[in-house]
Amino acid sequence: MNPKPPCIALFDLDHTLLPIDSDHEWGRFLARLGVVDPLYYQQENERFYRAYKEGTLDIYAFLQFALKPLKDHQKSTLDQWHEQFMSEVIEPQIRKEAIGLVNHHLVKGDICCIVTATNSFVTRPIAKRFGIDHLIATEPEIVLLQDKIQFTGRVHGAPNFKEGKVVHVQNWLRKLGYDWQSLQESIFYSDSMNDLPLLQQVKTPVATNPDERLRAHATLYQWQILDLFA
């Protein structure tokens, strides 16, 4: 007997499972710690955040900005800061509605994966907090120096952004031994019009806490709209 085709549930992270943007908040957190120039970093952080919401973000310019603090500090120090970030910033924003949505799919046996443009250093602990083993994120480049991991400040491979999400999910599926056609169900939850390419790729797109542009698009094409934190 052939095994039952799998179902996959894909989740954007920021403003989808979280009511905040973890990338943006990480930048604000570093500014509060004083490990980056607070005035300059906050101004640039806000500028890039506005561009993201408007759909005009230069992802490579943003990554050059966002990954530099990883290069400038030791991994052990960054890990300590991230523990504090999880406790002070992320944990208070973990909502029962989001946990319930993820658990709904986990209990059914669906293969769950967070698919986010935010880099994996910031997001991997958050994915684990949601109980999700699979993470597809923008990957910071790393090197080994004296047997210790050091970030270079550059991105490894293509950013996991817009059309890049489709490519990375396809590669992930291939590693699992699947493709889009072999899936029984594929569902993607996202808030952002930036994720339109992947939303159009899956069988069931769900506009989740959608921005105005995505809400209008979802209404026009009769997609499901989920206001998770209403």
pTM of the predicted protein model: 0.96
**pLDDT tens per residue across span 185-219:** 999 999 999 999 999 999 999 999 999 999 999 99
Active site residue 133: no
SS3 content of the chain, % helix, strand, coil (to 5): 50, 20, 25
Helix (H, G, I), strand (E, B) or coil at 168: helix
Tokens of 169: 């999910």
Q: How far apart are CA 168 and CA 91, in angstroms?
A: 28
Tell me, yes or no, if 110 is annotated catalytic.
no
**pLDDT tens-digit series, residues 133-174:** 999 999 999 999 888 899 999 999 999 999 999 999 999 999
Contact present, 152 and 71 (Cβ < 8 Å): yes
Residue 1 clears pLDDT 70, i.e. is over it: no
Mean pLDDT of 53-78: 96
The amino acid at 132: I
Domains and CATH numbers, the chain: 7-226 (3.40.50.1000)
Which position among 14, 23, 195, 211 bears the catalytic label?
Answer: 14
Residue 2: pLDDT over 70: no
Which tokens hold the place of 142? Answer: 């790393």
